[in-house]
Amino acid sequence: MSNQPDFADALAVAVKRAVPSVTSIAGLKRLSGGASQETWSLDAVGPSGTTPLILRRSPGGKRMERSSVAPSLETEAKAIRLAEKAGVPVPSVPYVLREEDNLGPGYLMGRVEGETIARKILRNPEFAEARPKLARQCGQILARIHTIDPAQIPELKPTDAVSEIEQYRSLYESYDYPHPVFEIAFRWLEERLPDTPPRLTLVHGDFRNGNLMIGPDGVRAVLDWEIVHIGDPASDLGWLCVNSWRFGESQNVVGGFGSVADLLAGYAEAGGKDMTAERVRFWEIFGTLKWGIMCMTMYQAFAKATDRTVERAAIGRRSSETEIDLVNLLFPSA
Amino acid sequence: MMDQPSTLELVTAVKEFIEKHAMPQLTGHTAFHARVAANALGIVARELEFGPTASAEELGRLESLLGMKGSLEDLNRELCRRIRTGDIGMTTPGVGEHMRATTIDKVAIDQPTYSGFKAAAKKT
Domain shared by A90 and A15, yes or no: yes
User: Does the residue B80 lie in any domain?
Assistant: yes
User: Does the residue B2 lie in any domain?
Assistant: no
Residue B12: predicted pLDDT = 97
Substitution target in B23, B83, B91, B124 with the highest count of A β-carbons within 10 Å is: B83
Residue A305: predicted pLDDT = 79
By the 8 A CB rule, do A36 and A226 touch? yes
Domain boundary among A64, A83, A110: A110
**Nearest CB to B80 within list A180, A249, A313:** A180
Domain shared by A178 and A252, yes or no: yes
Domain shared by A217 and A326, yes or no: yes
Residue in chain A lying closest to B37 (CA): A310
Choose among A235, A218, A226: nearest CA to A283: A235
**Nearest CB to A243 within list B80, B100, B115:** B115
The domain that holds A70 is classified in CATH as: 3.30.200.20
Domain shared by A153 and A31, yes or no: no
User: Does the residue B41 lie in any domain?
Assistant: yes
Domain shared by A176 and A65, yes or no: no
In single-letter form, the type of residue at position A183 comes to E
Work out the end-to-end distance of chain B between its first and last CA atoms, rounded to an integer number of angstroms. 37
Domain shared by A167 and A219, yes or no: yes
Domain shared by A91 and A131, yes or no: no
A122 vs chain B: nearest CA distance in angstroms?
Answer: 14
Substitution target in B80, B95, B111 with the highest count of A β-carbons within 10 Å is: B80
Q: What domain count does chain B have?
A: 1
A191 touching B (Cβ < 8 Å)? no
Answer whether A184 sits within 8 Å of B83, measured CB to CB.
yes
Residue A254, beta-bridge partner list: A258
B74 touching A (Cβ < 8 Å)? no
Chain B residues close to A184, C-beta within 8 Å: 83, 89-90, 95, 99
The ipTM estimated for the assembled molecules is 0.95
Cα separation, B31 vs B38, in Å, equals 11
Answer whether A181 sits within 8 Å of B77, measured CB to CB.
no
User: Does the residue B1 lie in any domain?
Assistant: no
Choose among A26, A30, A1: nearest CA to A12: A26
Residue A114: predicted pLDDT = 97
Domain shared by A197 and A237, yes or no: yes
Chain B residues close to A313, C-beta within 8 Å: 40
Question: Average pLDDT by consecutive 10-residue portion of chain A (334 residues)?
Answer: 73 91 93 74 93 91 66 95 98 95 95 96 97 98 97 94 96 97 98 90 97 97 96 98 96 97 98 95 98 95 86 94 97 81
B115 vs chain A: nearest CA distance in angstroms?
Answer: 5
Residue A20: predicted pLDDT = 82
Q: What domain count does chain A have?
A: 2
Domain shared by A36 and A61, yes or no: yes
**Local structure of residue A88 (DSSP, 8 states):** -
Answer whether B95 sits within 8 Å of A309, measured CB to CB.
no
Residue in chain A lying closest to B41 (CA): A314
Across the range B19-44, mean pLDDT stands at: 95
Residue A2: predicted pLDDT = 41
The domain that holds A264 is classified in CATH as: 3.90.1200.10
Task: Enumerate residues 6+ apart whose C-beta is below 8 A from A251.
Answer: none
Residue B20: predicted pLDDT = 97
Cα separation, A132 vs A259, in Å, equals 9
Half-sphere exposure of A303 (CA within 13 A, CB side): 10
Cα separation, A274 vs A276, in Å, equals 7
State which residues form the domain around A200.
118-330
A50 vs chain B: nearest CA distance in angstroms?
Answer: 28
Neighbours of A255 (CB within 10 A): 27
Answer whether B119 sits within 8 Å of A328, measured CB to CB.
yes
A-proximal residues of B, 93-122, CB under 8 Å = 95-97, 99-100, 102-104, 106-107, 110-111, 114-117, 119-120
CA distances from B123 to A170, A300, B55, B94 (A): 33, 33, 21, 16
Substitution target in A165, A175, A179, A327 with the highest count of B β-carbons within 10 Å is: A327
State which residues form the domain around B29.
7-122
H helices present in chain A, as ranges: 4-18, 73-85, 118-123, 131-146, 161-175, 180-191, 234-240, 260-269, 277-303, 310-315, 319-330
